[in-house]
Structure 1
Amino acid sequence: MAEIAPTELLELFQRAQASFTDRVDAIEPGQWEDEALPEWTVADLVAHLVTEMLWVPPLVAGEPYAEGRFPDATTDLLGDDPMVGWESAADGALSSFAEDDALERTVHLERGPTPATQYILELISDLTVHSWDLARAIDADTELDGELVTASLLIGEALPDDGVPGYYEPPLDSSPSASPQQRLLARFGRRPL
């Protein structure tokens, strides 16, 4: 896998968060219960990423993954103002990764010890692909930042041919002439528009 400098990873992470924030900000009040993914509403998708961001501070601080650390209920995670819940969790995650030597550490994920640089790259790809999912669900702009797509492809192209059960759908075939964004979406089991 290609190396990306820690300062660039941090900047890409911030841009991926901003991209998702723009889509959350575009959600109309009546769209929260719309389908974003099979069996997930728009609210569920946003809550998923709130949870992802809430995990960053304890993991970067060296705590091991612990099932049940955060609420499962979407309403508990999003509260009365989902944008505030999202931004608070995103700010905490960014602050944790911005600490001195944070990207030189090892985090202890459910699957085991993982370099923090790998972890942040996985979060960048998750934020990027879910930005597309959310944009598609709320009929917003589905065009993704090209540099985020390129970074996310490092994760997407390393996915096994059968996906990762419980995390990623099996990749779909894409044409050799597909754009990087189309290839990324196909690698994460999405059929581009």
Structure 2
Amino acid sequence: MTTTTVQPDIAQAHRRALDATGSLVAQIRPDQWGLPTPDDDWDVRALVGHVVEGNLWVAELAAGRTIDEVGDRFAGDVLGADPRAAYDASATAAASAFEAPGALDAPCAVSYGPVPGRVYAGHRLVDVLVHGWDLAVALGLDPVLAPDLVEISLGLVEPDVAVLKSTGAYGGDVPVPEGASPQTRLLALLGRQT
């Protein structure tokens, strides 16, 4: 009997992560934008700005543009006067970019690539999902992530955890407790204490 591994619809999973994080962004009160987050040196506004900037890059790189072509277009404040609207517009653009016909197979000229769109979509899924957890913690909201998105993310992170940590983009070493839940494992692998 032959078994096959069913690959998740990474574009749909990415959209769901964007939607989940977007529901948290929608709950940010005006007095909460300066709150600290689990990410060193980032307050809530900087964290949301990071996700929005990443979304804007997706829309460009998944459309076949290069880093040089995009240049410094997204340098500085990408949130403007209406951060919620900026998040929503960027999330729509990023989700649509990966859902476009052929986008998951097309090469994306990311800083560590080029890589197929599905690889880039997976990396963005993890980034958006985990930063959603960061945001929930900062706002004092329920930080429980969608279990299926956690499982997909673990499947993407575990094989490449050494490479991911070597980039410096994720936190330091956090021990994974014995019998830890998938969410706790994912967060620990990416340098977060729960």
SS in 2 for 1:159: helix
Change (3 A) 1:106 1:49: same
Is the CA contact (8 Å cut-off) linking 2:56 and 2:74 kept in structure 1? no
Structure 1 gaps of 5+ residues are: none
* Alignment partner, residue 86 of structure 1: 87
CA distance in 1, matches of 2:20, 2:164: 28
* Alignment partner, residue 69 of structure 1: 72
* Alignment partner, residue 135 of structure 1: 136
CA distance in 1, matches of 2:14, 2:164: 27
CA-based RMSD of the aligned residues comes to 1.7
Q: Which stretch has the larger CA shift, 176-185 or 94-103? A: 94-103
Match of 2:62 among 60, 81, 86: 60
CA distance in 2, matches of 1:78, 1:14: 20
Q: State yes or no: 1:185 paired with 2:192.
A: no
CA distance in 2, matches of 1:104, 1:71: 25
Q: What's the CA shift for 1:61?
A: 1.6
* Alignment partner, residue 175 of structure 2: 173
- Residue identity over aligned pairs, in percent, reads 33
Q: What's the CA shift for 1:165?
A: 3.4
Q: Which stretch has the larger CA shift, 129-138 or 89-98? A: 89-98
TM-score (norm 2): 0.90
- Partner AA of 1:70 in structure 2: R
* Alignment partner, residue 96 of structure 1: 97
Change (3 A) 1:60 1:161: closer
Where do 4+ consecutive residues of structure 1 move more than 3 Å?
none
Q: What's the CA shift for 1:65?
A: 1.9
CA distance in 1, matches of 2:118, 2:187: 22
- Partner AA of 1:159 in structure 2: V
Is the CA contact (8 Å cut-off) linking 1:107 and 1:114 kept in structure 2? yes
* Alignment partner, residue 146 of structure 1: 147
CA distance in 2, matches of 1:182, 1:107: 31
TM-score (norm 1): 0.90
Structure 2 gaps of 5+ residues are: none
Q: What's the CA shift for 1:162?
A: 8.0
Is the CA contact (8 Å cut-off) linking 1:60 and 1:96 kept in structure 2? yes
Q: What's the CA shift for 1:3?
A: 6.4
The alignment covers a number of residue pairs equal to 187
